Amino acid sequence: MTENDPTDEISDIEARIERLAEIAERCRKYILASKIAIGGGGALLLIMILGLFGAGLTAALGSIALVLGGIVSLGSNISTLQQTESAIGDAEALRSQLISRIDLRVVADAPMKLV
């Protein structure tokens, strides 16, 4: 291999893409959990307002905290997911550019089947 061979750089970029994909998947899980927290906190607050649940001020404050925490977590993870997907797109474009610079050869003498 020569010094100008981009295969090592392509391998590094592919490893980076895999790490970024794991981060994106983790963000998606946190986004789902945040939505569940917002829904659960809102439902609990509604139950508290309607008087269907016999708990007091603690449950009301807890439900408000759950809604607010879910909103903050949702916003944070959505922006992180957008940045991560942008970084994945940039890395894939760079990988494609490096692959296009490789002088690929067609091997014509290779047998179609190994017997």
Q: Determine contact, residues 44/53, Cβ cutoff 8 Å.
A: yes
Q: In angstroms, rounded to a whole number, what is the distance separating the alpha carbons of residues 7 and 58?
A: 59
Going by pLDDT thresholds of 50, 70 and 90, the confidence category of residue 114 is low
Average pLDDT over residues 85-97: 94
What digits encode the pLDDT tens for the residues 47-82? 888 877 666 788 888 899 999 999 999 999 999 999
Contacts of 99 by beta carbon, 8 Å cutoff, 6+ apart: 6, 10
Q: State the pTM of this model.
A: 0.76
What digits encode the pLDDT tens for the residues 4-51? 667 889 899 999 999 999 999 999 999 999 999 999 999 988 888 887
Q: Quick one: pLDDT at residue 106?
A: 73
Burial of 109 (0-12, 13-18, 19+ CB in 10 A): exposed
